[in-house]
Chains A and B, each alone.
Chain A
Amino acid sequence: MRAIGIVLAGGNASRMKELTNKRAVAAMPLAGSYRAVDFALSSLANSKVQKVAVLTQYNSRSLNEHMSSSKWWDFGRKQGGLYVFTPTITVDNSFWYRGTADSIYQNIDFLKNSHEPYVVITSGDIIYKLDFNKVLEKHIENKADITVVCKRLGKCADTSRYGIITTDPDGRITSFDEKPNGAEDEPLVSAGIYVVRRRQLIEMLERANEEERYDLVRDIIIRFKDVKKIYAFEHTEYWRNIASVMDYYDANMDFLKPDIRDYFFRQYPDVYSKVDDLPPAKYNAGADVRNSLIASGTIVNGRVENSIIFKQVYIGNNCTIRNSIVLNGVHIGDNSYIENCIIESRDTIMPNSNYSGEPGKPRIVLERSDRYSI
């Protein structure tokens, strides 16, 4: 494909609460076996984008570990590769990334040294599958300077965290309101995915930097909206942004729906993730699992209902896990009761514990303890 990829994965989100103490949002585990960034990376790989940079800043240890090899997404070729850029001190810069535009600007050599004419920019915090070739085709057809991928949300959606877009009949963006307060019926929101000509992007980033402006949306897209041709591309399939605990909970629970599982697990193209070489999940006598996703390496001895159980979890005898998300490597002692919770990874839940959250307000359980791998 005639584009390079940039994945914005630097973010923390205060609404993710304690869940991002351990990792950036892009490294959040999803659907039993994925991490959030897999969706962006797989879409890039499946669109045959060969050269991809992931920009990280906030707590990237977990993310770096996940991307310790580029094999999983079949990057790491002689032509292209997967690059991880964290902020570094240079002769003319000693700042952290001061915003999304600044994060790309600080790595502008990556743009300058590439020869591909286009750049695909995607957030690493969103769950989707998209063929960027289709976006690029439309981009070229529109003779656009920037194409913004959009998603139409359902009614009553909380629009306060999205950029709301209106377009003219040709699809050219006429207004872009970032995080407005007033709700709107079925709003068209920015999906956090952009296609732009590489030279155009370099030019705009350099100008923004001169003016000490650092945000991709506010200082580039909104600012140049009337002078540059910025078009919307509507993505009609599944899309979800992870910005809050509730988003995260709902996104996981979405995978209990057969159509969504079918879309991501079975239909072409696949979503790739790091291979962990774990044994099959094991169900001992006493296991009773209903309407749940179970990942490999997990051993179940108790009851699990409407839940997502991640990799290498141990569920003790006579436990009940309901409407919950149990992250990687958790050990749950016998006779425990867990309802409406998100159990942080590698937690040890003592036997006879009881944790309950409210429906619609999952409780985050953090039980630190040192356990060593056997």
Chain B
Amino acid sequence: MIRKEMIAMLLAGGQGSRLGILTADMAKPAVSYGGKYRIIDFPLSNCINSGVDTVGVLTQYQPLRLNTHIGIGIPWDLDRNIGGVSILPPYEKSDNAEWYTGTANAIYQNLKFIEHYNPEYVLILGGDHIYKMDYEILLDFHKSNKADITLATYPVAWEDASRFGLVITDENKKVIDFEEKPAKPRSNLASMGIYIFTWKVLKDALIKLKDQPGCDFGMHVIPYCHNNGASVYAFEYNGYWKDVGTLSAYWESNMELIDLVPDFNLYEEFWKIYTKSDVSTAQYLGEHAVLSRSIVGEGTEIYGSVYNSVIGPEVVIEEGAVVSDSIVMQGTHIGKNSKINKAIIAERAVVGSNCELGVGEEVENKEHPNIYCNGLVTLGEKTVIPDGVHIGKNTVISGITTHEDYTNNWLAGGESLRKAGEDA
């Protein structure tokens, strides 16, 4: 008989549109992070480190990169005889065929998957945060309170509290009320989007709410349960927790890794973060290489200078090139004497020689001022930039660009340049 105390359902279907060009061809959880990881590695590693060995990954938006990354779960030891990792895309049923319309709807559509494992508890996770968390402690908290639902919460600064969905509790951490982005916050405990449900309670609620359009945990399921007398508790998490939902937050969070002793330490033996990596060779630093305050992935070759940057695996930075305050992802090539300032360069891009990225004054991006901001230059996957081009701040470029795409080899700040890539 199959029985699992707790299984995890990881919601990985969202686009993450505020990451702009980075999520053009992949879901947000598949975006690279910290020189060798992808965002989804954090919840997956947390699962296996917490002893949760059965994980359903719900995918919908651009799942291909996630599929190849996860495979059968070998890097996380999630290749199991019973359980392990399963990828759960939406599927056609005998009477209807629909997309996942909301977070809870996605779980509802996979009710049979959960039933198969006969769990007592179900852990609901998102795929857009960087953190290390022991879900077993969360489960112990849930059990000791005899709770029906436990929400993981994170204390935020009071002045920021009005930007979050907040949880108001009594002295026993029992939830009394919820507030969504209130003007005058009564609490500073923000919901992290991580929940433990006693399976019976969740199952009943999902079935009751099955016709609710866009059924969502935060908006429908938890209020429904709460209003119907379920006991809901809030667990306060005090470790490192970082939302990487916007390009600026994503850039900042990467940059925190290069601090002398970062808040989020990847160098501890305990609570390792696992990932699938295609390369494991050592990195080579050339005769004239300069590196300071940076982390560098495997198999990378550096002949130029790198300051305050996160460099992924298999990157080549040629002689005379200077990369500062930037994130350079796997397989990217930076040509000779090019200067890269405060840029996010996605995988397998090619920057020619004598280019300069991030020059001039900050000008607001014309198309998406809320996405491409803080002076960042963002290059999509497999972007090609020809030799000698200068690019202003708050810009975005994707596809194979040639000299014809630039006026006098110049792309002004705030501009967006999108061309078809080689796959188009």
Give residues in A with beta carbon < 8 Å to B: 31-33, 71, 255-256, 261, 264-265, 273, 275-277, 279-297, 299-300, 308-310, 373-374
Contacts and interface: CB of A to CB of B under 8 A. Distances in A.
Given A275-B75, A285-B292, A280 B281 contact: no
Interface in B13-32: none
B360 interface: no
B280 A283 contact: no
A374 B280 contact: no
B291 A280 contact: no
Interface string B325-361: 0000000000000000000000000000000000000
A277 B274 contact: yes
B81 to A, nearest CB: 14
Contacts of B266: 279-280
B273 A277 contact: yes
Interface string B258-292: 10100000111110111101011111111111111
A295 B291 contact: no
Contacts of A282: 258, 267, 294-296
Nearest to A373: B269
Nearest to B275: A277
Contacts of B299: 265
Contacts of B282: 31-33, 255, 293-296, 308-310
Given A275-B75, A285-B292, A289-B291, A374 B269 contact: yes
Dominant secondary structure at the A interface? loop
A202 to B, nearest CB: 36
Interface string B89-107: 0000000000000000000
A153 B406 CA distance: 54
B127 interface: no
A261 B316 CA distance: 13
Contacts of A279: 34-36, 266-267, 273, 295
22 contacts: A33-B298, A256-B284, A261-B284, A265-B281, A265-B299, A275-B75, A277-B272, A280-B266, A282-B258, A282-B295, A283-B296, A284-B293, A288-B291, A290-B288, A291-B285, A293-B284, A293-B285, A296-B36, A296-B297, A308-B282, A373-B269, A374-B269
Contacts of B293: 283-285
Contacts of A294: 282-285, 296
A308 B282 CA distance: 9
B74 interface: yes
Contacts of B295: 279-283
Contact of B284 (A276, A286, A292): A292
A201 to B, nearest CB: 34
Interface of B: 34-36, 74-75, 258, 260, 266-270, 272-275, 277, 279-299, 301, 306, 310-311
Contacts of B284: 256, 261, 292-294
Contacts of B301: 261
A273 B285 contact: no
Which one of B282, B290, B294 has the greatest number of beta carbons of chain A within 10 Å?
B282
Given A285-B292, A294-B283, A374 B272 contact: no
A283 B309 CA distance: 10
Nearest to A297: B267
Nearest to A30: B282
B281 A33 contact: yes
Given A285-B292, A290-B288, 11 more contacts: A31-B282, A261-B284, A275-B280, A277-B75, A280-B36, A282-B267, A282-B295, A288-B290, A290-B285, A293-B284, A294-B285
Contacts, number: 111
B290 A291 contact: no
A310 B297 CA distance: 14
A374 B272 CA distance: 11
A284 B281 CA distance: 21
A293 B281 CA distance: 9
Nearest to B45: A277
A103 B268 CA distance: 41
Interface centre among A288, A296, A297 (most CB of B within 10 A): A296
A312 to B, nearest CB: 8
Contacts of B36: 279-280, 296
Contacts of B287: 290-291
A32 B272 CA distance: 21
B270 A374 contact: yes
Nearest to B258: A282
A295 B36 CA distance: 13
B294 A283 contact: yes
A305 to B, nearest CB: 9
A284 B260 contact: yes
A281 B279 CA distance: 14
Pick the most buried of A255, A256, A280: most chain B CB atoms within 10 A of its CB.
A280
Nearest to B313: A280
A255 B282 CA distance: 10
Contacts of A310: 282
Nearest to A294: B283
A292 B288 CA distance: 11
A264 B292 CA distance: 28
A283 B286 contact: no
A277 B271 CA distance: 11
Contacts of A261: 284, 301
A275 B35 contact: no
Contacts of A283: 291-296, 306
A296 B269 CA distance: 13
Nearest to B280: A33
A275 B277 contact: yes
Contacts of A309: 282
A226 to B, nearest CB: 45
Nearest to A310: B282
A31 B74 CA distance: 25
Contacts of B310: 280
B272 A280 contact: no
Contacts of A289: 285, 289, 291
B286 A291 contact: yes
A297 B299 CA distance: 13
B284 to A, nearest CB: 5
A15 B299 CA distance: 31
A272 B372 CA distance: 40
A280 B302 CA distance: 14
Contacts of B34: 279-280
A345 to B, nearest CB: 15
Nearest to A300: B291
Contacts of A291: 285-287
A139 B387 CA distance: 51
Contacts of B288: 290
A292 B302 CA distance: 10
Contacts of B286: 290-291
A298 B197 CA distance: 41
